[in-house]
Each structure stands twice: as structure tokens, then as C-alpha cells.
Amino acid sequence: MSLLLLGRTLSRTSIPGPGFRTYRHSQFRPSCSGCECKILAGVFQDFPSFTCPHKEDDAYHLIRDPDRLSFFYHPGPSKENLRLGLSYKSESDIGLLLFGFWQEDERKGRFQVHYRGRHLIAIHCVNDGEEVCKSCSVQKTQGFGNDQWTRVAFFNYANEMSLVVDRDACVLRELNAQDGLSLAEVYSIPALATGSALFIGGMYYEKKKSGVYLPSFEHKFFENTREKVPSLRGCLKDVYIDGDRIDLSTIFSRQMQHTLVDAGDESAYAVEVIVSLNIFNDPFFTVTKK
């Protein structure tokens, strides 16, 4: 089996070996140019190439606030066929991009994508009585908190989990002591939560502000008394779930209804929409409203 990445077809023989391995595709010349290149065909619907310019229209700004939560919450993507993507930018040297879990009968799993310094890391764990975790990371010399837009895709393809970060990619392999990663940074599956859930840009944890979030929602995640990897401090857009781009405003509206005591409390989450207004029809004169 093969998939299209950066205008070239990559077969499973292109997959790197065990352990932390990244393979760079800068040496490949795409057969198409610019945004005509639709990468990861067969996995995502119209996932943009890293060569596509980023527009900040309708992006969301996530803020780290001592009293408010900051994330997008979704009941959960497909359990066994993850196809998630997003674009983000941040000046912080650490941030949580994705965390999710699923449970059914005796089988359950969790996954997390975050960055720290020069590494953007993906971890995927499955528990069939004993938890087995796989991971990989992509490196960037200037780090991933450089205030530049970065496109990230995390997906199951040909029964293997893969991570794509702009023009770089890696395949998850079984985690071992030599990998230098600790599961201490990965959030646990909440003991009282059922089914599946996906958190984008952050994770629930105990906050000082009370009476804002529904007790039924808080109760599911009461074990998280502190953050592990902190929430993203920056901007987020172009989110894909189950291979399709989703409307973040719809997700956020449902989230407010299902998690807040007052569904109309627009200050409950430390999340702001960014709308770029080009008031003089001049690409170099743009006002950003939050």
C-alpha cells in the first residue's frame, strides 16, 4: 500500500526502522507545485501541503490562564482508525496539541501529541490487559515554539501509526528505555470516563475558579489535579478529525453547552477567535480582532 506525501508516492518500504527515526523529504521534488499538492491522499480529505501559505482568518488563540481551562473538546474520533490533523503556532517552547482515549470491553487506548523544545512527539498506547506504547518524534533545529505555523498530522495507515510535521515524518515504534521518553508526560485514561474523548490544544485539570464547569464534566477528570504537558499557548486552526476538516466554531459551541454551568459564558474558556480584517484591501495592512 502507498500514500501520496509531498507529491510523491511513498510505500511502506519508505518507513524508517525501529526507534526514533525521522526521514526528511526535502530532497523530493513534488510533481505538482504549491497548494495544488494534496498530501496524504487516501488518509485525509484535501489536507494542505506544507507549501501552502497560512491564513489566520478564523484561527483561535489559546491562552494559559491560572483560573480558566483552554482546549477544544470532542466526544472522540474513530477508535482504531485515527486520522487527526491541525495547524498551530506558538512562542512557547512546550505545548500539548492532542490527547485522546477510547475504551471498549476489555480493550482501551490513549494517545498524545505534544512538543517540547526541538522535538515534536507522538505516543500511542493500547491496553489489552497490559499496556504497550509506541512513539516517535520529529526534530527541528530552531524548535517548535518559533511563532511559525506548523502543520501536524497523526494517523493510522497500513496498521501503523505515523506522525507528519510539515515536510518531515516518522512511524511510531515500540517505546523502550533507550528512547529517552517518559510516559510521565502522558495523561492517563480517566478512571470514571467512558467511551472516547479528544482534547485539542490542552487538557482538563483542576482549576481555582469554581462553579463554572458542570460537575458531571469535572467529575470525569477529577484525577487531573495538575497539568502534565501544559496547554498550547498560541494559535490553532485547520483541525481534521477522522480525516475531514471540522468547523472549530461548531465544536466550541457544543463544548460550551456540554461542559459549562452557563452555556453562554464566553469567558469560561481561555480561548479567543481571531478574525483578520483587511480594511484597506491591502495585504500588508491587516487588523486582528480578538
pLDDT digits (tens, 9 = 90+) for 146-190: 999 999 999 998 889 999 999 999 999 998 755 667 788 999 988
> What's the pLDDT score for residue 31?
52
Under DSSP, the state recorded for 41 is B
Band (269; pLDDT cuts 50, 70, 90): very high
- Each as own residue / partner, the long-range contacts of residues 29-35 (CB below 8 Å, 24 or more positions apart, any chain) are 30/6, 31/7, 32/7
pLDDT digits (tens, 9 = 90+) for 178-211: 566 778 899 998 888 888 999 999 998 887 688 9
pLDDT digits (tens, 9 = 90+) for 2-57: 454 544 444 443 433 333 334 433 333 445 566 766 678 889 988 888 888 888 77
pLDDT digits (tens, 9 = 90+) for 233-249: 999 999 999 999 999 99
> What's the pLDDT score for residue 123?
96
> What's the pLDDT score for residue 57?
73
| Spatial CA neighbour of 133 closest among 120, 144, 122, 142 | 122
Q: Which helix (H) or strand (E) holds 120?
A: strand 119-127
| Spatial CA neighbour of 66 closest among 199, 209, 204, 210 | 209
Cell numbers 497490559: residue:
130
Q: Which residue has the higher pLDDT, 253 or 177?
A: 253
Cβ count near 269 (within 10 Å):
24
> What's the pLDDT score for residue 20?
30
Is residue 281 over pLDDT 60?
no
pLDDT digits (tens, 9 = 90+) for 56-79: 777 999 999 988 999 999 987 767
Q: What is the pTM of this model?
A: 0.84
Q: How far apart are CA 186 and CA 130, in angstroms?
A: 17
Q: Which three cell numbers stand for residue 80?
A: 482504531
| Domain 56-289: CATH architecture, name and number where available | Sandwich (2.60)
- Give the count of alpha carbons within 13 A of 180, CB side only: 8
